[in-house]
Amino acid sequence: MLTSVNRICFTFVRCKHKLDYSKVPKLVDSELLEQHVRGSGPGGQATNKTSNCVVLKHLPTGIVIKCHESRSLDQNRKKARSLLVTKLDNLINKENSVEAQAKLLDNKKTTEMERKRQKRQALKNEWKTRENLID
């Protein structure tokens, strides 16, 4: 079963050409404070002895992102920056953010699929009554 987050991610991929990326904020390195700290959670020595958790702070807004999804520092840096851009976009653009646009497209598709399903069901019921198949 797809969760809403996965469904939105699929919408990003499917409807990339329909989304407006022109208002997405750009990150400026002088406005960022980046720290590398030790992560936590499962992983044992690989987690406890390496500083591969990235803490990224956007100084003008005060938004802090902590990312420790993989063992690689570079992957965590990239993921933290993309998460920060998404949070800034949601904060600044609100209903015009890329995530909100994707959610709106997904809702439109869902309602359209539901409308088609109900129409098919009505046609099927109509056919059954016409053919005297209903008990």
Output the tens digit of pLDDT for each of the chain's 135 residues: 455 555 555 555 566 678 888 899 999 999 999 999 998 888 787 778 889 999 999 999 999 999 999 889 999 999 999 999 999 999 999 899 999 999 999 999 999 999 999 999 999 999 999 998 875
- C-alpha to C-alpha distances, 63 to 66, 69, 79, nearest whole angstrom: 10, 19, 15
64 and 84 housed in the same domain: yes
End-to-end CA distance of the chain: 34
> For the chain, what is the domain count?
2
Are residues 62 and 102 located together in one domain of the fold? no
> What pLDDT is recorded for position 18?
82
Distance between CA 112 and CA 80 in Å, rounded? 35
Radius of gyration of the chain (CA): 23
Query: Which pTM was predicted?
Result: 0.74
Host domain of residue 125: 1-23+97-135
